[in-house]
Amino acid sequence: MKKSTLSSCWLVKQEPTAYSWATFIKDGKTEWTGVRNFQARNNLRAMKKGDQVLFYHSVVNPSVVGVAEVTQTAYPDPTATEGDWSAIILKPCHALKHPVTLAAIKATPALAEMALIKQSRLSVMPVTEKEFEMIVQQGNH
């Protein structure tokens, strides 16, 4: 299989007080809007249908709590009043049995190069397949 046909992995951050995993599950899907950082926007635009996404609760008990999937690729963000911003649609796949905390991620040497650690303020970021699998494995044990 050619590399270009493989799905990619991502991580999106959300404050649980603004939009929690539990709300996402209840909604069954969500428009991922409101991204106002060019690098994060470009990451949204690079997402393809079927890509797997780690759902990360930020600020309060920062941790990866679930896995989602891209169901619609980038389109103009309906919440943007000016500028060239994008949104996508995500659906929840499954919660992790145990949240994988930021502390646990930082304590795992194989995850030391993650964008989550290197670019901690970025809200939408790529994750390698190996990083994705390690976090899901940690969260399901």
pTM here is 0.94
pLDDT at position 5 over 70: no
Q: Retrieve residue 45's tokens.
A: 């635009």
The reply to whether 33 falls in a domain is: yes
Percent of the chain with pLDDT over 70: 96
Distance between CA atoms of 100 and 70, rounded to whole angstroms? Answer: 21
Q: What is the pLDDT of residue 4?
A: 43
Q: How many domains does the chain have?
A: 1
The reply to whether 1 falls in a domain is: no
- Strands, E assignment, the chain: 9-14, 30-32, 52-57, 63-76, 86-101, 124-127
Range of the structural domain that residue 66 is part of:
9-139
Model confidence pLDDT, tens digit, residues 8-40: 999 999 999 999 999 999 999 999 999 999 999
Q: What is the pLDDT of residue 3?
A: 38
The reply to whether 18 falls in a domain is: yes
Q: What is the pLDDT of residue 6?
A: 61
Whole-number average pLDDT of the chain: 94
What is the CATH classification number for the domain harbouring 106?
3.10.590.10
The reply to whether 81 falls in a domain is: yes
Torsion angle of C-alpha atoms 25, 31, 37, 42, degrees rounded to 10: 110
